[in-house]
Amino acid sequence: MVETRWHFHEQLAELESIIMRMGLAAHELFGRALEVVVSGNEADADEVIAGDDEIDAFYMEIERGIVVVFATQGPVASDLRFLATLLHINLHLERIADMGVNIAKIVKAAHGLPPNPRVLATLQEMGGIALGMLTVAMDAFARRDVAVARSLPAMDDPLDDLNRGMLAEVLMESHGRPMLEWGIHMHVVSRQIERVGDHAVDIGEQVAYLVTGVFQEFTDASHPEVEASARLGDTIGLGGNGLGTEGGEG
């Protein structure tokens, strides 16, 4: 029995090690996507898109590992909370990688259009916040630190503000239709970055659940008014370019 429990905890430790590696890989992939926004390099965008395969492999490995534990070990109480937390964090990290892929695809769609330095600077600021939040969220998980996890909503507030202001910035800073079209693409990029912040907050909520045994949302991370504004492309006649949506995940 002692040997069985030792093997069980070894399995849990291995799953945690995998999720931490997945967190680093998702962070790197999303960071590279942000660099592509600035460079506009299509080859680099293709590399980001191809890089999602690594994240998907992590996702499947963690999911399979959790199924094996459930099937062979019969986990209870805190072990069940840990496995549930892993399932949720696994999904959020996979979605963050999807946001990076979406950004790379948007950059390819906007290739050849004139960029606006001020909008790019705002996107870089947003990206820095989002990456920082992901680091904090995964650190909170590694340390089982609820206080650190609860710091995430405050980090998310400026990210939300910048995202809400992106539409006005695009409209104010665009000089001519080509730059406006590029700006609408970047407005969708802004939404992708903002979503990464939401996923980081959600990971923090899972950390608090893991430690306390009680799940409670830190804040309402949904912003339907932003979703509606993302349809601006249709309103001004750019809908045929596939703009104004968050983009497919997966």
Spatial distance between the Cα atoms of 247 and 223, rounded to a whole number of angstroms: 16
Summarised one tens digit per residue, pLDDT across range 20-49 is 999 999 999 999 999 999 999 999 999 999
Spatial distance between the Cα atoms of 235 and 154, rounded to a whole number of angstroms: 33
Tally the C-alpha atoms within 13 A of residue 181's C-alpha that lie toward its C-beta: 15
Q: Is the pLDDT of residue 234 over 60?
A: no
Q: What is the pLDDT of residue 4?
A: 59
- Tokens of residue 76, six digits: 């209870």
Strand boundaries in 55-175, DSSP class E: none
What is the SS3 assignment for 160?
Answer: helix
Higher-confidence residue of 66 and 6: namely 66
- Burial, 117: exposed, middle or buried (Cβ in 10 Å; 0-12, 13-18, 19+)? exposed
Summarised one tens digit per residue, pLDDT across range 46-102 is 999 999 999 999 999 999 999 999 888 777 777 899 999 999 999 999 999 999 999
Amino acid at position 90, single letter:
N
Q: Is the dihedral of CA 100, 35, 200, 220 positive or negative?
A: negative
Summarised one tens digit per residue, pLDDT across range 195-209 is 999 999 999 999 999
Q: What is the pLDDT of residue 246?
A: 41
b/e map of 173-207 (b: 16 or more CB within 10 Å)? ebeeeebbbbbbbbbbbbbbbbbbbbbbbbbbbbb
Q: What is the pLDDT of residue 75?
A: 75
- Which domains are delineated in the chain? 2-241 (1.20.58.220)
Spatial distance between the Cα atoms of 179 and 185, rounded to a whole number of angstroms: 10
Closest to 92 measured CA to CA, from 201, 13, 182:
201
- Residue 204 and residue 137 in contact, taking contact as beta carbons nearer than 8 Å: yes
Closest to 134 measured CA to CA, from 61, 33, 44:
33
pLDDT band at 249 (very low <50, low <70, confident <90, very high): very low
CB atoms under 10 Å from CB of 162, counted, come to 19
Q: What is the pLDDT of residue 72?
A: 83
Closest to 155 measured CA to CA, from 204, 218, 197, 113:
197
Spatial distance between the Cα atoms of 79 and 210, rounded to a whole number of angstroms: 9
Q: Is the pLDDT of residue 229 over 90?
A: no
Closest to 204 measured CA to CA, from 118, 116, 248, 139:
139
Closest to 106 measured CA to CA, from 40, 165, 172, 26:
40
- Tokens of residue 213, six digits: 């045994």
Spatial distance between the Cα atoms of 92 and 66, rounded to a whole number of angstroms: 16
Spatial distance between the Cα atoms of 156 and 234, rounded to a whole number of angstroms: 28
Q: What is the pLDDT of residue 9?
A: 83
pLDDT band at 238 (very low <50, low <70, confident <90, very high): very low
- What average pLDDT does range 214-235 have in this prediction? 55
Amino acid at position 248, single letter:
G
Average pLDDT value over all residues in the chain: 88
